[in-house]
């Protein structure tokens, strides 16, 4: 698996008029996935460690996994077509019969929230990572604009 995937982390969540831009990457490259406001907020709240009065959908799913003795192993953003990203969530479950590994199709946005909640790794298929445009400069410009509101908006 080491050569066909690249480990990434969430580098930033930026509100946009139509949702949020989630910047993912590593020291090599940062790319963006656009998500709706709800999931963007869930990602940011998870990063910030915000405690919620009532569980959100992602919290519920995480609690169900824990309750069933299932462990989220990793998330892999495995494809991108027409500016739409696809992901797989890999789960393991152990019982008296042995270990069962389940791979589930999921939206990357939902997968990212679950991975952050469970403190599990996020990977991107090497082919996807190589194909996406590097958006490091845009994230840096946004951060600079946040530090200095007088500067130009990216």
Q: Does pLDDT of 153 surpass 60? A: no
User: Residue 102, CB half-sphere, CA atoms under 13 Å: how many?
Assistant: 12
Q: What is the mean pLDDT of the chain?
A: 91
CA of residue 115 relative to chain centroid, distance: 7
Q: Does pLDDT of 97 surpass 70? A: yes
Give tens-digit pLDDT for 98-143: 899 999 999 999 999 999 999 999 999 999 999 999 999 999 888 8
3-state class of 117 per DSSP?
A: helix
Q: What is the predicted pLDDT for the residue at 21?
A: 96
Domain 5-147 fold: Bifunctional nuclease domain (3.10.690)
Give tens-digit pLDDT for 6-19: 999 999 999 999 99
Tell which residue, 140, 31, 139, 135, has the closest CA to residue 85. Answer: 31
Give tens-digit pLDDT for 21-70: 999 999 999 999 999 999 999 999 999 999 888 888 888 998 899 888 89
Tell which residue, 28, 2, 32, 6, has the closest CA to residue 126. Answer: 6
Q: Does pLDDT of 151 surpass 70? A: no
């Amino acid at each position: 698996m080491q050569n066909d995937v690249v480990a990434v982390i969430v580098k930033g969540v930026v509100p946009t008029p139509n949702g949020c831009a989630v910047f993912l990457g590593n020291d090599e490259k940062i790319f963006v996935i656009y998500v709706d406001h709800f999931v963007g907020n869930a990602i940011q709240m998870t990063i910030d460690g915000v405690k919620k009065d009532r569980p959100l959908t992602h919290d519920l799913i995480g609690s169900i996994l824990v309750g069933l003795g299932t462990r989220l192993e990793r998330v892999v953003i495995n494809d991108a077509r027409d500016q739409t990203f696809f992901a797989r969530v890999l789960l393991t479950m152990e019982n008296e019969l042995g270990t069962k590994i389940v791979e589930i199709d999921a939206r990357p946005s939902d997968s990212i929230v679950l991975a952050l909640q469970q403190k599990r790794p996020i990977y991107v298929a090497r082919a996807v990572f190589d194909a996406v445009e590097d958006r490091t400069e845009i994230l840096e410009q946004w951060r600079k604009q946040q530090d200095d509101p007088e500067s130009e908006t990216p």
